[in-house]
Amino acid sequence: MKTDSIAIVGAGIIGITSAYLLSRAGYRVMLLDAGRGPALGTSFANGAQLSYSYTDAMASPGLVAKMPGILLGRDPAFRVRMSAERQLLRWGSRFLMHAQAAREEQNTRNILRLSLHSREVLHRAQDECGIEFGHRLSGKLHIYGNRQDLDKAAIRVQQKGEWGCPQQVLDWQQCLALEPGLAQLATPMAGGVYSSLDEVGDCQHFAVRLLAQLRQQGVEEHYQCRVQRLRKEGNRITGLDTSQGPLTADAYLLATGPDSLALARGIGMALPIYPIKGYSITVPATGQAPDVCITDVDNKVVFARLGDRLRVAGCADIVGYDRELDEQRIAHLLRVCRQRFPEAGDYDRILDRWTGFRPVTPSSAPIIGRAGADNLYLNLGHGMLGWTLAMGSASLLAARLGGYPAPIDDTGLRPIDHGLR
Ligand SMILES: Cc1cc2nc3c(=O)[nH]c(=O)nc-3n(C[C@H](O)[C@H](O)[C@H](O)COP(=O)(O)OP(=O)(O)OC[C@H]3O[C@@H](n4cnc5c(N)ncnc54)[C@H](O)[C@@H]3O)c2cc1C
């Protein structure tokens, strides 16, 4: 049993799942967060999808082909405010390199290995902890309005089958038979891709309730505790300067999501992460809300029923760290809801409107492992899939920290794969 202490900076889903597996492995865990409580950052009101099968990297030839339209503001799912910000230029050029077909395929496959592992680890944790978080084995259906897009998706479905992830291409009649709630769409679609392994659950509920159990096992929490600086001497981090004073531990983990850049820069590490802003609304669900999770591919909007609530999320805005909740983006989500699922929710009674930043790397793969100092670890950059990948990422990290073999091939996920040492 190890007795080392570890300070985890960031109490989002990534920090909390890391705390869970590290505390089980015998570490004394301190969890620090600048916020007033746990999971109030990007993990607060995301799309709720445990999207184990859909791990496709964002940088792809398809996205590059759509780039002129996106930059001209013709795709309502995206909003780009061009700037000469150095971080964006550096990140953007690496993103374009990852958009080559062969790289996109490899990146998707690397993330898929992690997501399938994550599913197993979450199920084990659920058996052990029995947490209520609106978890359902819902499956997920991507619906396509455009025949050509569906045909392209079918090629990836075949590949994923070879990579151990079963999906099915369905015509529109089969989609309707699977999810009768689709009958409320005004116009029939081309068809869909069904992912039977995918699930749904409230990320914030899970994080907060898991942490409540960890508290009883002695995990120490510090909120409104902003880490201002990592103190580094030689090859070791010797302590943290925080808004509550200095703090020391044997090892340190950065799980700071989209806000990681400044801390890393302080020790000379340039993280390849860019914040891509998204939005969600949560409304009361009606009896017509789909049971299966739906991704509306044309609008890039996801619909997930969480008990008696319907969570709808979307938008990919490249606007730097502008934290304002833009009502026009909420109006866009509501327009898509009323167009696609007019009967599924009470859209006049919004329970929550929210915005957050996806911490996206050029390859879309997270960064997991040791970098920057002998006792500094990273669990960062989970982009669009942090909820899905959290348990698997924590499991990989625990293996790295404990010095035992990684439970899966972690090529593409290691700091060195992201140009970090
Ligand atoms: C609109 C939207 C929809 C999404 N939908 C899905 C989905 O359906 N499925 C899915 O898998 N993923 C989804 N995601 C992605 C997922 O939400 C994120 O990848 C995930 O929440 C990232 O978790 P995190 O713990 O890394 O970051 P966070 O939750 O942001 O946690 C980081 C924490 O670090 C703290 N922190 C930062 N800097 C400091 C500091 N200096 N000192 C102390 N504390 C600090 C912050 O306060 C914060 O609490 C979505 C994201 C968005 C924006």
Find residue 222's DSSP bridge partners: 32
| Closest residue CA from atom 8 of ligand 1 | 47
Residue 172 contacts residue 188 (beta carbons within 8 Å): yes
What percent of the chain is predicted at pLDDT more than 70?
A: 99
Q: How confident is the model at residue 181 (pLDDT cuts 50, 70, 90)?
A: very high
pLDDT for position 1: 40
Torsional sign, CA 59, 65, 70, 74 = negative
Closest-CA residue, ligand 1 atom 15, reads 384
pTM exceeds 0.75 for this model: yes
Q: How far is CA 74 from CA 47, 79, 327, in A?
A: 24, 9, 19
Torsion of CA 227, 228, 230, 233, to 10 degrees: -140
Regarding the beta carbon of 264 and ligand 1, being less than 6 Å apart is answered no
pLDDT digits (tens, 9 = 90+) for 347-395: 999 999 999 999 999 999 999 999 999 999 999 999 999 999 999 999 9
Kindly tell me if the per-residue pLDDT of 236 is higher than 70. yes
Tell which residue, 69, 52, 56, 49, has the closest CA to residue 152. Answer: 56
Would you say the CB of residue 98 lies under 6 angstroms from ligand 1? no
> Which residue type, as a one-letter code, is found at position 231?
R
Nearest to 282 by CA among 315, 309, 316: 309
pLDDT in the model for residue 86: 85
The candidate with the shortest Cα–Cα distance to 220, out of 12, 19, 414, 18, is: 19
Distance of CA 249 to the CA centre of its chain: 28
> Which atom of ligand 1 is nearest the CA belonging to 40?
49
- Ligand 1 centre to CA of 418 (Å) is 19
In terms of CATH, what superfamily is 53-85+134-198+273-360?
D-Amino Acid Oxidase, subunit A, domain 2 (3.30.9.10)
What digits encode the pLDDT tens for the residues 145-164? 999 999 999 999 999 999 99
Structure tokens at 113: 């290995």
- Please tell me if the CB atom of residue 385 comes closer than 6 angstroms to any atom of ligand 1: yes
Please give the Cα distance from 264 to 267 (Å, whole number). Answer: 6
Q: Where are the domains of the chain?
A: 53-85+134-198+273-360
